[in-house]
Amino acid sequence: MPGRTLIALAAVLLALGLVACERLPQAKMPTASLKLETLPSVDAIPAEYGDLVSVTSDAQLPHSVQLWFQKPDKSIVVVFVDYRNHFILPQALAIPRR
């Protein structure tokens, strides 16, 4: 008898929990304001990119790194480097600051 009561109570609580749920509104994705810049050459990083502030890696791309630079106007530029094959990708990601 106590087992049936517990099962009934669990069923009622589950039903109440399902009734209390409601769908969240879909969040609208912001429009992309980031752009790719073409590097003037792939044998050096332009000095106007400013100071190197960080280096990150990605587990899905084990032989590459991202170099994060802060320009004098405080915008951010990300340069992608493949150190296994010794090359800089020809495009960098520009991230504006507002």
Could you read off the pLDDT of 32-82 as tens digits, one per residue?
A: 678 899 999 888 999 999 999 999 998 998 899 999 999 999 999 999 999
How many angstroms separate the CA atoms of 33 and 75, rounded? 13
Residue environment code for 29-46, b if the CB has 16+ CB neighbours within 10 A, otherwise e:
eeeeeeeeeebeeeeebe
**How far apart are alpha carbons 89 and 36 in whole angstroms?**
11
What is the average pLDDT across 15-33? 78
pLDDT at 32: 67
Which helix (DSSP H) or strand (DSSP E) does residue 80 occupy? strand 76-82
The backbone region for 68, taken as left when phi is positive above 0, alpha when psi lies in -120 to 50, beta otherwise, is: beta
Q: Domain ranges in the chain? A: 2-95
Regarding pTM above 0.75, the answer is: no
Instruction: Pick the closest to residue 38 from 78, 90, 76 (CA basis).
Output: 90
